[in-house]
Structure 1
């Protein structure tokens, strides 16, 4: 093989194009850039027309950009529970970025060195490295597109198909495929007609195609003058130079058309998704956007009530269906598909912009954008948000819809009864507040009144541990554990009301603020070190949401029964703990002795949504289970991938026609899909709502003889031999 000096390594930029064609190309580039810029401008103007965002989205922007770049460039969310999808998207994204950078280098070389100054850098070692990298990453790009085509059209992955699947999805994927393949064909023809220079072997894909063209006898201009030399494509009268010219213009026009199309269709997610990750709220879902006292933009009365971030969420959606595939409501055949809600709102907005008719955002019947039954189906479990690779904050938009629905009086009658119970009696059961601490009557010791004495732990017991017979056993178990650990703890007795977490997620915002105001005043009147919650729902709202309320806005409202006028715990000075976190600390510090050899049950554990996905606490409950001596078998869907019990978002108080119930499916999973299978004796929970839902699912699903539902606190009490002291009857 002839050795060519690297100094000679370069190529002609516009091979085979005349001056007029180059001018035409420059003109088309200018038009495309204008069309692209105008499209981006229109998109951005939509966001500026959106309602104000109550949360800070652009603070600390440099760090936000760096953090977003790490998330996007690593493809970490794409790899989450989907290795194939992660590899596919990584190949496409990194390949596309490399080709974009390569094209930018060519543009700079062409416009900068030819038009602005006389300097050539695209030669020698740089050119060789450039050509090799472009071929390598371009090949990955084509492979990734091929994987996407295989998954979409051959496998027909169910996530990728729905009522919002459209021709633009097909155009998008096939255009990318055409750009990738067309680029290699163009390179192959260029290498072939320039005599296959030795240094071009670094362009291994293009060089291989050039060898193929030679093998099949594609004629060059010289061969075309010699009759009889036409082979293969020669029957059409086309030589390699003509094919190179046709491929160059076809590839260029396709690329320019794609660039012009980006702001107007699905490809815009390449920009909007990154922007969405930059402007994400780290606590999204765990805290909901508040409402101003003047009720401005509280609900979703019309599309203009959605904030610019909500609109950006809609534009960022890639229709990948990851949210839909993990949604427990959809899995239970409830009429909710998180992807469809986001895209229905987007379609309605775009229809209005095109002159369409206005209609209710949410209502009963088929005339509205979203049906009330759809939003009633949401369990507020946050699985959709956890699965979304572009950080769409579904619960923000869902909350606006729920608030509008509640404001219209469109919530179910059972939910209205809960609202009434809370307003009149301070709890969801409608029982007397005087009876709130009756659960403690069977204990062999007295519970301290935290309103009268200083305590280490101010224990918020919660509605279900206070009034529900099954969960009263959990409350007594936890009281016994704290007593055994010899720590001071107390409760609020009748001053404890419902925490408000779930009625807020159903849309009853102002009743939630009443409850929050009452509780922060009660907390301020007590002396304690930490707040400990039985229920993860209470834990979440005290930790993440009460500090967000600007009570001063509402303190002068005669309807609001509180005078507190500050931000409670804005600096995080008050520690708020779930009880498993508090007890795990006690075990670690030696205040509570668990030998780890007392119990020999085979158990599995269900991660509660509000403890796990909401607050990233997975280990404390597991450490306590292991400390009792139980053998813990993990559920196939565990930690952030845990499957909701069905009780969140008001589901605890509503009846649905669903098959199967989420609780039944979860118990089936425990008995059939864990490694221990039917050998699992106890289904362990750490949430009163989960306890209620799974006890119901055990009955309706026919699992009563197969598995027992217990709380971690009950396991601990049994392990330390204090069942009788706690007033419990625990069966093996």
Structure 2
């Protein structure tokens, strides 16, 4: 083999590239950068054309960037529920970033330190360390791409395929594969034509490829030290120099294509996803944007009604399908796929930007971007947002669509009845407000009226514990627990109205504001220390949403029956608790002693969405269950991964043709997928809506003889031996 050996620890950057080719390459680089910059400008100018966001997403920007960098580099959300996917994406991301940094280091030396100051650091020990790290991380990159291709094409993971799967997905993954493998092939050819210097052993992947060239006897011309001869000889026939020259240009052109393509297709998520994590709202979903009092304001009449952050959400979507895979509506065959809604909006926006025809954003029939039945299917459980690795705030866009449906009158008749009941009677049942406190008549003690005397806990009972027979038993249990703890508590009786949480998520914003104003005015006339809620939905809206309402904006509206003008509890001076949090505090303090005979049940517990995913409260209910002596056997999907009961987002009041119902699937999970399996005796809930949904699912799923649905409060009352005092008589089936 006749070669010009390389002896110094380092290497030539443009080995075998003539001056003409060098100039051509950098002309292409300039064009590539210009195309890339123009594409990025177009993207961000489109965001600037979006509506203003109601939340400050650029405050404390430096901290946001640091936090986003940690989230992205750690890939923490990619590992959620999917170890394989987490490792795959981590290998690709870390490898890609390492190769990008390596290229940047090379450019900094060649056009910075060496050109300006004559300082060269890309040699000796630095070069050896650099080459080893690049090979190691580059190998991880290729392995990650291989894992992605295996999952996409061999396993055909269902998450990755849908109506928005397109050629750009294939181009993206194959371009990365060609770049990764081509880079190693180029390195191997370079090592081979330069005489396989000993120090290049640190480039272990490239060196292995060079050994393959050597083993199969690829001829070499010995022109590695003379670029002009190299080029001439490279064209003379098949040899190592020809291979190196061809691979160098192939690799360069593919890399330049990829860079230029980034702003125009799927690779843009590498920028938009990071930006989306930077500007995320930490309270997304648990609080919703307010609407202006101006009745001329629109919600989703056109794509221009969407805020810049919602447009960024659309571009940040990577089509990974994690949101779809955890969506209980999709699992129940309702016509909702969270990914498709986001991508349908994006596709429509891009069609308009390219001269397409306008159409309704959301409406009945097939001519709109989104069908009303699709949005009615959403349970507002936030599972999609919790699963999304790039912090897309689905619920904010979904609520905008729901508000538009409400404005248009495209609401299911059952929901219209609920709205009417709330407007006329202050509750979703349509029952008389005067009977709201009747559930307490069967207690052996009187419940205080918080409007007339000072109390420690102002207890917001809620609609279902006040009017639904099954949930009245839970209300009496909780009243008994608070009485047993000897704490002062009171309720508002007929001045209590529906909290507004779920009708707000269905789109009825102004009725929600009216309810909020009524409650805040009522509370201001009461003396109490804390607000305690039976329902996690009430807990969330009082804690996270009432303080956001700008009542002053509605002060002059004659349709709003309140006079309050200032925001309520803006600084959080009034503590709002779910009852399990309040009672867990009482148990911890020793105020409430579970002194009765320990219960000997094997139970499982369902995390309510509004208590768990919305507000990160997972332990208080579990501590109370354990305090009763019950053996708690967790379901596979628990805490943040819990599966919704199906009642949120108005689902409680709608009829869907679904199989199985979310509640039936959850009970099946309890009886079949827990360690105890069929030995589970009680399915424990901490939410009145969950109680209602699971009692229904127990009947429709044929589980009436297999499991009992109970609330945590009912377990506690039984544990303290106060069943008779609570007057808890299990309703006849």
- Aligned match of 1:539: 539
Kept in 2, the 8 Å contact 1:13–1:110? The answer is no
SS at the partner of 1:580?
helix
8 A contact 1:461–1:535 mirrored in 2:
yes
Other structure's SS at 1:664 match: helix
Rounded to whole Å, the distance in 1 between the matches of 2:138 and 2:153 is 22
Distance in 2 of aligned mates of 1:35 and 1:595:
74
Alpha-carbon shift at residue 113 of structure 1 (Å): 4.5
SS in 2 for 1:715: helix
Select between 353-362 and 109-118 the one with higher mean Cα deviation: 109-118
1:463–1:498 contact (8 Å) kept in structure 2:
yes
Distance 1:235 1:720 in 2: 91
The answer to whether the Cα contact below 8 Å between 1:718 and 1:730 also exists between their aligned partners in 2 is no
Secondary structure at the counterpart of residue 724 of structure 1: helix
State the shift of 1:556 in Å.
Answer: 1.5
1:116, CA displacement in angstroms?
3.5
- Helix, strand or coil: the match of 1:76? coil
Contact 2:142–2:180 (CA under 8 A) maintained in structure 1: yes
Correspondence 1:183-198 to 2 at 5 A: 183-198=183-198
> Following TM superposition, by how much is the alpha carbon of 1:106 offset from its aligned partner in structure 2, in angstroms?
1.5
Give the C-alpha shift of residue 119 in structure 1.
2.3
- Give the superposition deviation at 1:565: 0.5
Unaligned runs of 5+ in 1: 1-5, 225-233
1:566 matched to which residue of 2?
566
Q: Distance in 2 between matches of 1:623 and 1:583?
A: 10
Contact 1:450 1:490 in 2 (8 A): yes
Shift of 1:109: 2.2
Cα 1:628–1:407 shift into 2, 3 Å: same
Q: In 1, Cα distance between the equivalents of 2:331 and 2:297?
A: 33
Superposition deviation, residue 111 in structure 1: 2.1
2:78 corresponds to 1:78: yes
Residue pair 1:426, 1:497 contacting (<8 A) in 2 also:
yes
Moved more, 592-601 or 622-631: 592-601
- Alpha-carbon distance in structure 2 between the residues aligned to 1:304 and 1:295: 17
Query: Which residue of structure 2 lines up, in the alignment, with residue 620 of structure 1?
Result: 620
In structure 1, C-alpha distance between the alignment counterparts of 2:730 and 2:587, rounded to whole Å: 22
Determine the structure 2 residue equivalent to 1:696.
696
Query: Contact 1:540/1:611 (CA < 8 Å) preserved in 2?
Result: yes
State yes or no: 1:268 paired with 2:264. no
Greater alpha carbon shift after TM alignment, 633-642 vs 294-303: 294-303
The alpha-carbon deviation at position 36 of structure 1 amounts to 0.6
CA distance in 2, matches of 1:535, 1:512: 17
Contact 2:145 2:173 in 1 (8 A): yes
**CA deviation after TM superposition for structure 1 residue 117, in Å:** 3.9
User: Does structure 1 residue 149 correspond to structure 2 residue 118?
Assistant: no
Q: Distance in 1 between matches of 2:651 and 2:480?
A: 31
Task: Give the Å deviation of 1:26.
Answer: 1.2
Moved >6 Å (runs of 4+): none
Structure 1 residues 29 and 596, CA gap change in structure 2 (3 angstroms): farther
- Could you say which residue in structure 1 is the equivalent of 2:107? 107
Offset at residue 108 of structure 1 (A): 1.8
**Structure 1 match to 2:471:** 471
CA distance in structure 1 between the partners assigned to 2:616 and 2:185 by the alignment: 49
Give the number of aligned pairs. Answer: 718
Q: Report the Cα offset of residue 120 of structure 1.
A: 1.4
Report if aligned partners of 2:597, 2:721 keep a CA contact under 8 Å in 1: no
- In the alignment, is the contact (CA less than 8 A) between 2:529 and 2:574 conserved in 1? yes
C-alpha displacement of 1:118: 2.3
Q: 1:351 maps to which residue?
A: 351
What residue in structure 1 maps to residue 136 of structure 2? 136
- C-alpha separation in 2, matches of 1:487 and 1:174: 66
Distance of 2:18 and 2:101 partners within structure 1? 26
Contact 1:179 1:254 in 2 (8 A): yes
Give the superposition deviation at 1:700: 0.5
- Quote the offset at 1:222 in angstroms: 4.6
- The equivalences for 1:545-694 within 5 A come to 545-595=545-595, 598-694=598-694
Query: Tell me, what secondary structure is at the counterpart of 2:683?
Result: strand
Please give the TM-score of this superposition, normalised by the length of structure 1: 0.97
Instruction: Measure, in 2, the Cα distance between the counterparts of 1:597 and 1:327.
Output: 41
Match of 1:393 in 2: 393
Q: Is the 8 A contact 2:606 2:685 kept in 1?
A: yes
Distance in 1 (alpha carbons) for counterparts of 2:188 and 2:598: 72
- Partner residue of 2:177? 177
Secondary structure in structure 1 of the residue aligned to 2:140: helix
Show the counterpart of 2:335. Answer: 335
Q: Give 2:119's aligned residue.
A: 119
Once the two structures are superposed, the pairs formed by residues 24-39 of structure 1 within 5 Å of their partners are: 24-39=24-39
For 1:709 and 1:16, the matched residues in 2 are separated by 76
Deviation at 1:628, TM superposition (A): 0.4
Following superposition, the deviation at residue 208 of structure 1 comes to 0.6
Partner of 1:43: 43
Does the C-alpha gap of structure 1 residues 394 and 297 become closer, same or farther in structure 2, counting only changes over 3 Å? farther
Residue 441 of structure 2: aligned partner: 441
Matches within 5 A, 1:199-278: 199-222=199-222, 237-278=237-278
Query: How far 1:274 sits from its partner (Å)?
Result: 0.4
> Distance in 2 between the 1:605 and 1:593 partners?
22
Task: Report Cα offsets for 1:627-680 as digits up to 9, x if no partner.
Answer: 001000001100000000000000000000000000000011111110000000
* 1:350-389 per-position Cα deviation (integer Å, ceiling 9, x unaligned): 0000111100000000000000000000000000000000
Which one is further off, 597-606 or 658-667?
597-606
**Secondary structure of 1:528's aligned partner:** coil
The root-mean-square deviation of aligned C-alpha atoms, in Å, is: 1.6
Sort the Cα spacing of 1:639 and 1:242 in 2 relative to 1 into closer, same or farther, 3 A.
same
Cα distance, 1:727 vs structure 2: 1.0
Hey, what does 1:227 align to over in structure 2?
none
Q: TM-score, normalised by structure 2?
A: 0.96
Structure 1 residue 236: Cα displacement? 10
Change (3 A) 1:573 1:7: farther
Partner in structure 1 of residue 229 of structure 2: none
Q: Do 1:292 and 1:298's aligned partners in 2 also have CA atoms closer than 8 Å?
A: no
Instruction: Evaluate the alpha carbon distance shift between residue 652 and residue 185 of structure 1 in structure 2; reply closer, same or farther with a 3 A threshold.
Output: same
Aligned to 1:3: none
Task: State the SS of the aligned residue for 1:384.
Answer: helix
Instruction: Give the whole-Å Cα distance in 2 for the aligned partners of 1:192 and 1:536.
Output: 67
